[in-house]
Every structure is written in structure tokens, then in C-alpha cells.
């Protein structure tokens, strides 16, 4: 079967396979469901770049409706901190087991405390740029999006994580701001134009 073979849902039933050229004569709307060979499930025509280009369709966006509250975001953050600190402590213990130099051990522990926030920042930026979620968020089915519910660009992710410094001062008031925001955005989300949504409900 050709790699560009598509099945098209017509009157509730899949028909095909159709080649891209054959799809041109079908009555396809942006909301028509298609499935290409190798795809796990059917998608709407406007979601498939190849079909959009073929039929000159514009992508459509559905604004997110289910936002992550402060409690579940806090739990995700705790999980992420556990991962970061656990990884650093594991490395520290391996080093300590190989040396008896007390001065070096103290210096290592001080360095580890200093490097933890930097490690967390790098971890969050990399995970959210590539997967839209840290491990903590993934375990809780959360993800970071832009205001349209789409994947944010790298600049927004970096700005979001840098702005957490502002959200933390004073007394984490920028995080508590989520209780006053209809989309449950923390202050750093407002600055970066991002949302944290419940992925399983979208």
C-alpha cells in the first residue's frame, strides 16, 4: 500500500484508501476525519499538514477549557524537585564514597546546594521545549501550551521559567495569583503567555 494512502470517514464509516490526488475530488472540510497509513488514529483534516497544504486549509484552534490548579501544579513541582535533588545526592554519595577529604566533601555539598536551582531551571526548559512537560507534569497528565493550546516556542518557555523568580517574590505571591486568574495562570504564565492544562481532558 502506498505511503500516501488515506482513509476518509464518510457518513460515519471509513472509506479508501485514497491517494492525495484522489482526495482532491472528495468533499473534504477542515473537520473531516482522515487517517494515513501508519497513523494511530483519525485526525481532522486541518490537523494534518500534508492535507492542509493540499486543500489550502487553515489550521483551527480550540481554546483549552481545563486548566491545572495550584494543588496539582505544586505536586508536579515536588516530583520534579525530588528527581533533581535525588540525582544530585546520588552523584554526591558516589563521590563521597571515593574520598576521605573532608574539605572536598564540604565544598561538594555547598556546590550541590548552589547548583540545584540552576539544574532545575535547565531541566524544566529542556523538558518543556521538547515535550511541553517535565516528568512531574507528565506523570499528572499536564502540559504547557500557549494561549491557543498549541506548543509554545522556545523563547516563551525560557521567559516562563526565568519569570518564576518574580513569581517567588515576595512570599510566592506570583504563584498564588493563580487563584485569582480564570485560566489559573501564575504570574510567570501571564508574562510568557502560557497555560498549564490538563492534557487528558483536551
- Strand pairing report for 6-10 and 33-36: antiparallel
Q: Is residue 60 part of a domain?
A: no
Are both 119 and 167 inside the same structural domain? yes
Does residue 2 contact residue 28 with C-beta atoms inside 8 Å? Answer: no
DSSP per-residue codes, 16-30 = EEE-HHHHTTS---T
Does residue 43 contact residue 33 with C-beta atoms inside 8 Å? Answer: yes
* pLDDT tens per residue across span 152-175: 999 999 999 999 999 998 889 999
Average of per-residue pLDDT across 24-42 = 87
Residue 171 is placed in which grid cell?
A: 512570599
Q: At residue 90, does pLDDT exceed 50?
A: yes
pTM, to two decimals = 0.72
- The pLDDT of residue 202 is 39
Q: Is 113 exposed, middle or buried (0-12, 13-18, 19+ CB in 10 A)?
A: exposed
Average of per-residue pLDDT across 136-153 = 94
Q: In terms of residue numbers, what domain contains 40? A: 6-55
Are both 133 and 48 inside the same structural domain? no
- 126 versus 99: the higher-pLDDT residue is 126
Q: Is residue 62 part of a domain?
A: no
Q: At residue 1, does pLDDT exceed 70?
A: no
Q: Is residue 61 part of a domain?
A: no
Are both 171 and 111 inside the same structural domain? yes
User: How high is the mean pLDDT of the chain?
Assistant: 91
Amino acid at each position: 500500500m502506498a505511503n500516501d494512502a488515506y482513509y476518509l470517514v464518510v457518513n460515519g464509516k471509513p472509506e479508501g484508501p485514497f491517494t492525495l490526488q484522489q482526495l482532491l475530488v472528495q468533499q473534504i472540510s477542515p473537520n473531516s476525519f482522515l487517517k494515513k497509513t501508519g497513523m494511530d488514529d483519525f485526525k481532522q483534516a486541518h490537523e494534518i499538514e500534508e492535507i492542509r497544504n493540499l486543500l489550502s486549509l487553515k489550521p483551527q484552534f480550540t481554546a483549552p477549557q481545563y486548566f491545572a490548579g495550584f494543588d496539582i501544579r505544586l505536586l508536579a513541582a515536588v516530583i520534579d524537585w525530588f528527581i533533581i535533588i535525588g540525582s544530585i545526592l546520588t552523584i554526591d554519595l558516589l563521590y563521597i564514597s571515593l574520598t576521605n577529604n573532608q574539605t572536598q566533601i564540604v565544598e561538594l555539598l555547598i556546590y550541590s546546594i548552589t547548583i540545584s536551582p540552576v539544574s532545575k531551571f535547565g531541566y524544566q526548559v529542556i523538558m518543556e521545549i521538547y515535550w511541553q512537560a517535565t516528568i512531574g507534569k507528565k506523570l499528572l497528565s499536564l502540559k504547557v501550551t500557549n494561549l491557543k493550546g498549541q506548543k509554545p516556542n522556545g523563547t516563551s518557555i525560557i521567559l516562563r521559567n526565568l519569570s518564576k523568580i518574580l513569581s517567588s517574590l515576595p512570599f510566592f505571591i506570583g504563584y498564588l495569583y493563580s487563584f485569582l486568574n480564570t485560566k489559573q495562570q501564575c504570574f510567570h504564565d501571564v508574562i510568557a503567555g502560557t497555560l498549564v492544562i490538563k492534557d487528558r481532558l483536551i
